[in-house]
Structure 1
Amino acid sequence: MLLQGPPGPFFKRLQLYLEGNGHDVWRVVFNPADRFFSNRHGRVNFYGDLGEWENWFSDFIEGAGIDHVILFGAERPAHRIARSIAAEQGIDVVSLEEGYIRPGYVTVERGGNNASSPLAGALPLAGLNYEEQPDFPAEDFKGFEPMCFQNAVHYTVRALFSFGKQKAMFHREVPLFPEIFFWLRSTWRRWTKQTLNFTTIQNLLEHHDGNYYLVPLQVDSDSQLRGAALGWSTLKLISATLKSFARHAPPGKRLVFKIHPLERGRSNHASLIPNMARAFGIEDRVDVVDTGSLGLLTRHSAGMITINSTSGLSALHHGVPLLVVGAAFYAVPELAVIGNGHPDFDSFWHSRHVADKRTRHAYLRWVKHEALVMGDFYAAKGVHAACQNILLKLAEYRRAEKTEMEARSAC
């Protein structure tokens, strides 16, 4: 059974691919946008609310003999319910997300992603060899522009043609006309501030190499942030880091905030942060950028602070101190400073806690091997690769299930 996928036709193509390889596939659609990007064959229209969804889903998967549920976004309200019921009935859940490492990868895991990932809080078992796993994907599928177009179509159809209980099933609100304004403002800000961003980044790399702390901000509506932030928000993170930096950061250090490209048009953080920095008397030590290579900025930084963004993996790759404020699958004491909702910013400015290179790279290769497959949800070539690799993962999970059953029988 396929539940909600990423905006656009990916789940439609995945259904066709799985059916073409001998699988029976049902697809549940919750609103007109899901329906627009679906196949008539095997489609089930659900018209209820979350309360009705729980009973309906439980009855359907039991009666239809479902053995795998595939969904995108483990923390969406409907998907949290589905994961819980599937676990009770012993049905495997395959949870997809944008790649933990991008571009070129998508995330495919059993049970959940991010804080609910089966990898959460763990390190690879001793003796496992991941030396042959590549450090970076072989191909960038160039999915950003198709993603923007497919998202625009999806949310336009959803906003114009959804009524009643269909709206109650939205995992997040995307008002149509404000959203158009935000995207136009994002484009305007990108082009008008391009020179300023370039100059700021160049100045950091040339004159402050290794002397600035990087804070990559997340998208406020991201279910990962809402579901596993442990009470933290973007605004709270900005305030807390500025306050602590002003009082306890070593002289000569700088603080750099990187605004997420998908949040650039929605927020006013680019003006809020300098104003707050001025109030704390550190306006000459704080920078804000909304473009540029995260990897490049991370590599030349003194450390990174994040709530639970997958940007933290960049800090692990480049070997800089990392403070994880909320719940994240890579929040492992051997790898990072763990805030667990109560971070000690004051001490972090002086932290040198970094795992050795071999441990860090073995961990990243393990994550790629266990949780990622080559592909993309939006670009045509990447979609085909993702479908192929998801099918391979399903076969891998079936083998694992068989092994687990045989082990239980032996006991």
Structure 2
Amino acid sequence: MSHYLHELAHTKRNILLLQGPVGPFFNKVADWLQNFNNNVFKINLNGGDEHFYPCNSVSFYDSIEVFPQFLENYIQQHTIDAIVVFGDCRTYHKIAKSVVDSNPNLSFWVFEEGYLRPHYITFEKDGVNGFSLLPKNHDFYQNVEITSIDESNGKSHYYSMIYYSIIYYIFMLLKKYKYSNYIHHRNTSLSFYASHWALALIRKLKSRLIKPRLIKNVINNEYKPFYIFPLQCNQDFQIQVHSHYHSMKSYIFRVIRSFSLFADKKSYLLIKHHPMDEGFNNYNRLIKKLASRYDVSKRVIYILGVPMPILLRKAIGLVTVNSTCGLSALIHGLPVIALGKAHYDIKGLTFQNGLDRFWKERQKPNTQLFERYRSYLCNKSQIKGSIYYADFKLNIE
């Protein structure tokens, strides 16, 4: 079990929950924490929050300008000593973090999608992803004990996530009159998501027609040798907050240009579209334009739908901004370079000498260092399970 979760649950506290993920997950979190005699409070910020957490909660209806004072008053009134959120870059959560930072009696805890996806949940103190407190010092991990990792696979919860998202946004819309001042971190239009999910479905169906050929080409080494560049969701905080360019288009430009100038002329670059972004962005024209400009049209392949494990087994290296695919590549012993802020960007694990030199000087990760790092990561911050699994139960010992 996560060391951080054990620390939170086993010290009797007055815990305030802010926004959780879509679905009933935070309701379960409250039950788990109450089983250890913690007092749990909840502030709802919109109709979706209220629907999935209707009891023992209060609602905030005012403008965001008064939220800091509202939060400070609430903390004082209920003697709150810990705040728990899902994602640390949402507008209200950033305010909460600033309040915690100015109060030595408060602590800040963050749930997030698992670093080791798709079968883990992340839980850390003070921040996640680029804000994570996980040590990046190579020497720190030399004395970490290597422990066994539960690598069993569970069911996919992609459609559960879509279901909960639909319900969440429906109730956000239905109760918009109550929460008229609420500021969401993403587009809240049902028609927006319906149209893009429909487009994603169409693209998925199209990709199924060419996926067998692409998979066959990969397995038969038609693209050998090749690098993988897995794209990330452009609107995700990993790009908007924890990267240098804040746009996947900028990274695509940088990677293709560098590949054309410095990679071996016989190598390929396979650019993989993110499965959750298929209905929102399509980079086919941009990639074709850049590949043509830099005379690598035959060596840059844009792919959708091919499972990452198939690619990882055949690739010679992976370029990422800060995706969890970087961790998957390290598990496979592949050379990796992270172009943004990544908690696994550590000397001995990832390439440290820049993208232009990566193509020819790439190095495989230190196997023992990675096993020590992964053991520490799992024991410190990872919880086995899925946020969107309806029957998921947390084992707190």
1:128 to 124, 134, 144: 144
Q: Which residue of 1 aligns with 2:13?
A: none
Q: Which residue of 2 aligns with 1:396?
A: none
Q: Which residue of 1 aligns with 2:3?
A: none
Q: Which residue of 2 aligns with 1:184?
A: 198
2:389 to 360, 379, 382: 379
The yes-or-no answer on 1:172 pairing with 2:186 is yes
The yes-or-no answer on 1:29 pairing with 2:57 is no
Aligned partners of 2:119 and 2:153 also within 8 Å: yes
Deviates more, 1:105-114 or 1:153-162: 153-162
Q: TM-score, normalised by structure 1?
A: 0.86
Distance 1:256 1:105, change over 3 A: same
Matches within 5 A, 1:332-343: 332-338=346-352
2:229 is paired with a residue of what secondary structure? strand
Q: Which residue of 2 aligns with 1:111?
A: 126
Q: Which residue of 1 aligns with 2:359?
A: 349
Matches within 5 A, 1:28-177: 28-41=43-56, 43-90=57-104, 91-123=106-138, 124-130=140-146, 132-134=147-149, 136-163=150-177, 166=180, 168-177=182-191
Q: TM-score, normalised by structure 2?
A: 0.89
1:370 to 364, 376, 380: 380
Q: Which residue of 1 aligns with 2:29?
A: 14
Percent identity, aligned pairs only? Answer: 26
Q: In structure 1, what is the Cα distance between the partners aligned to 2:352 and 2:171?
A: 42
- Unmatched 5+ residue regions in structure 1? 393-411
Deviates more, 1:160-169 or 1:298-307: 160-169
1:309 is paired with a residue of what secondary structure? coil
Matches within 5 A, 1:280-291: 280-291=294-305
Q: In structure 2, what is the Cα distance between the partners aligned to 1:13 and 1:338?
A: 41
Q: Which has the higher helix share?
A: 1
Which amino acid counterpart does residue 82 of structure 1 have in structure 2?
A: A
2:364 is paired with a residue of what secondary structure? coil
- Unmatched 5+ residue regions in structure 2? 1-15
Matches within 5 A, 1:262-277: 262-277=276-291
2:54 is paired with a residue of what secondary structure? coil
Deviates more, 1:254-263 or 1:373-382: 373-382
Structure 1 runs (4+) greater than 6 angstroms displaced: none
1:28 is paired with a residue of what secondary structure? strand
Query: How far has the Cα of 1:235 moved from its partner?
Result: 0.4
Once the two structures are superposed, what CA deviation does each residue of 1:333-354 show, in whole Å capped at 9, x if it has no partner?
A: 2221248xxxx43212112223
The Cα RMSD (Å) is 2.1
Once the two structures are superposed, what CA deviation does each residue of 1:15-41 show, in whole Å capped at 9, x if it has no partner?
A: 234334432211111011111111322
Once the two structures are superposed, what CA deviation does each residue of 1:80-117 show, in whole Å capped at 9, x if it has no partner?
A: 22122123323122210000011221001111101111
Matched residue count:
380
1:262 is paired with a residue of what secondary structure? helix
Distance 1:33 1:165, change over 3 A: closer
Q: In structure 1, what is the Cα distance between the partners aligned to 2:129 and 2:24?
A: 24
Q: In structure 1, what is the Cα distance between the partners aligned to 2:314 and 2:134?
A: 28
Which amino acid counterpart does residue 153 of structure 1 have in structure 2?
A: I
Q: In structure 2, what is the Cα distance between the partners aligned to 1:258 and 1:48?
A: 43
Q: In structure 1, what is the Cα distance between the partners aligned to 2:47 and 2:329?
A: 40
Distance 1:296 1:122, change over 3 A: farther
